[in-house]
A = this chain, B = another copy of it.
Amino acid sequence: MKATKLVVGLMSGTSLDGIDAALVEISGAGSETNVEVKHFISNPFPSEVRDVLLGVASGQLVSAGIISQLSVLLGRLYSQAVFQVCQEVRLPVHQLDLIGCHGQTIFHQPDPNPLCGHQITSTLQIGEAAVLAEETGVTTIADFRPSDMAVGGNGAPLIPFVDFVLFRDARLGRVLLNLGGIANITLMPPSCHITEVQAFDSGPGNIVTDALIRHFSQGNQQFDAEGHLARSGRTLSTVLDSLLSDPYFHRHPPKSAGREQFGDAFVKKLLTLAASATIEDLVCTATELTARTVAAAVLQSANSCIQLDQLVVSGGGVHNKHLMQRLKKLLPHVALVPINELGVHSDAKEALGFAILANETFELGTGNLPSVTGARHPVILGKVSYGKNYGKLRRRFQGRESRT
């Protein structure tokens, strides 16, 4: 009777880069969860699949059949990633206990919209879990977000539970900052209870600088590698002030942002405000916008959270040295720690997260944080597709159920 489980977490994000798979050893559950990442891979989508996904996810009109077929195709690609992450460390797939699969979001609408006279919020992740469960033989938990929406939540973010499990500290107050396209923040006072976790999006992460660089390089460059451009420019302070007046930054959390707030329209506004500016100054200003809004959000929340010691940074923005320096300057009393130094590879974090969430569901624990998603109460997330390992798995962990 081993007390640990081998779990593969699968993530494919809205950026449509591809599929991340993390092989994780997990023991315990809830705040007593212990994890060790054994291996991690990242597979880009075949370009044909990416193109179809991009169309469907951006609201293109398609038949139900395309979505149905695409879901099975994704299930197969996820399954391949599971085999690969296991093979690379010579682990037979049948030794896995669980798979946690986020799926591919092709629709997410947390604000009520009318349909046939009803007000509906909904979210749709595809990637057929039955295909994963059958091809791997491993019980697969997927479709985590609709459960939170069913209790009135936004269905996002779900990673703060993972942040709590991995990074809550007995003595240190921690801010988790993920600098993806959008900057996500999770705040945890020392030895906090799960209900004290706060999380929200402070605003842009790299989305604005990336868009500027693609614009000026005619698509030849994708991002400001290491922040060189930002460093060689200067902040256009009147432009920055104007951007900072955006109402998003003045709304109280919980709040979440996406392309609707900081996508093409926002960049166009910036380009209009600074029509004759150099690319360096524009990128420097956009980087400063990220740094200032992150810092303001952290400081404002910190006031209510008593004590914050570490800013644990993950996501692509970690490599932007200029941004890191600005954050250090703006948050002098908080130590800036790359997440890798705490034993979690930055790129693996979300895939790891869905391994942890799958474990939690199997253990009948709740995975959403109502303080973060706005849900009426915590719920067990996801749907379980039994693999042929399920009977054995359940007997192995049966004794532990009585506590639930």
Task: For A66, list chain B residues within 8 Å (CB).
Answer: 115
Instruction: With a 10 A CB-CB cut-off, give which of A106, A134, A135, A382 has the most chain B CB atoms.
Output: A134
Contact partners of A390 in chain B: CB under 8 A: 364, 380
Q: How distant is A34 from chain B, measured CB to nearest CB, in Å?
A: 23
> What is the 8 Å Cβ interface bit string for chain A, positions 104-125, against chain B (1 contact, 0 not)?
0011010001011110111110
Determine if A71 and B122 form an interchain contact, defined as CB atoms under 8 angstroms apart.
yes
Q: Which residue of B lies closest to A144 (CB)?
A: B130
Do residues B130 and A70 form an inter-chain contact, with CB atoms below 8 A? no
Which of A18-26, A88-96, A146-154, A222-230 lines the interface with chain B? A146-154
Known: A64-B57, A115-B73, A385-B383. A150 touches B133 (CB 8 A): yes
Q: Which residues of B contact A394 (CB under 8 A)?
A: 401
Complex contacts, A107 vs chain B, CB 8 Å: 63-65, 67-68
Instruction: Verify if A72 is at the interface (C-beta below 8 Å from B).
Output: yes
State whether the Cβ of A384 lies closer than 8 Å to any Cβ in chain B: yes
Partner of A72, one of B122, B143, B151, B386: B122
Chain B residues, Cβ within 8 Å of A72: 120-122, 146, 149
Total interface residues in chain A, CB < 8 Å: 66
Q: A63-B59, A384-B383 are in contact. Are A149 and B121 (CB under 8 A)?
A: no
**Of the 9-residue stretches A48-56, A247-255, A301-309, A329-337, which lies at the interface with chain B?**
A48-56
Compute how far the CA of A67 lies from the CA of B123 in the bound complex, rounded to whole angstroms: 10
Give chain B nearest CB distance to A80 CB in angstroms.
Answer: 11
Instruction: Return the CB mask of A377-404 against B: 1 if under 8 Å, else 0.
Output: 0011011111000110011001001101
- Contact at A48–B134, with CB atoms within 8 Å? no
The yes or no answer to A361 lying at the interface (CB within 8 A) is yes
Chain B residues in 8 Å Cβ range of A61: 61-63
User: Most chain-B Cβ atoms within 10 A of its Cβ — which of A120, A131, A398, A402?
Assistant: A120
Chain B residue with Cβ nearest A65: B107
* 11 sample A-B contacts, Cβ–Cβ < 8 Å, listed by A number: A56-B64, A63-B107, A64-B107, A68-B123, A72-B122, A73-B116, A76-B118, A134-B379, A361-B386, A383-B385, A394-B401
